[in-house]
Amino acid sequence: MSASPFVAELRQVGVVAVIRAASSEAAVELAQALVAGGVTGIEITYSTPDCARAIARCRALLPAACVGVGTVLTLDQLAAAVDAGARFAVSPHTD
């Protein structure tokens, strides 16, 4: 059985860096440095202020990166991240 296109992309990425930054601007700068260094899997956590904005900026500036969201606690957070362009989501729990 072959993997879905997304699972195949994650296998190609190999490593996903988790970013917890003090600001959305810092998160974008970290993501840019990671991609410049060859790490294209990026997860920006909701502990980062204005997380959805950071995701949207990364998607616009880093089209080759696989950008997702972490620490998703609510459906509203998930919806905002998806609207911002998140390719995947990580949650510590679900209700």
pLDDT, tens only, 60-83: 999 999 999 999 999 999 999 999
pLDDT tier, 1 (very low <50, low <70, confident <90, very high otherwise): low
Q: What is the pTM of this model?
A: 0.90
What confidence tier does 91 reach under pLDDT thresholds 50, 70, 90? very high
69 by Cβ neighbours in 10 Å (0-12 / 13-18 / 19+) ranks as buried
Helices and strands counted in the chain (H then E) = 4, 3
Q: What is the average pLDDT across 78-95? A: 92
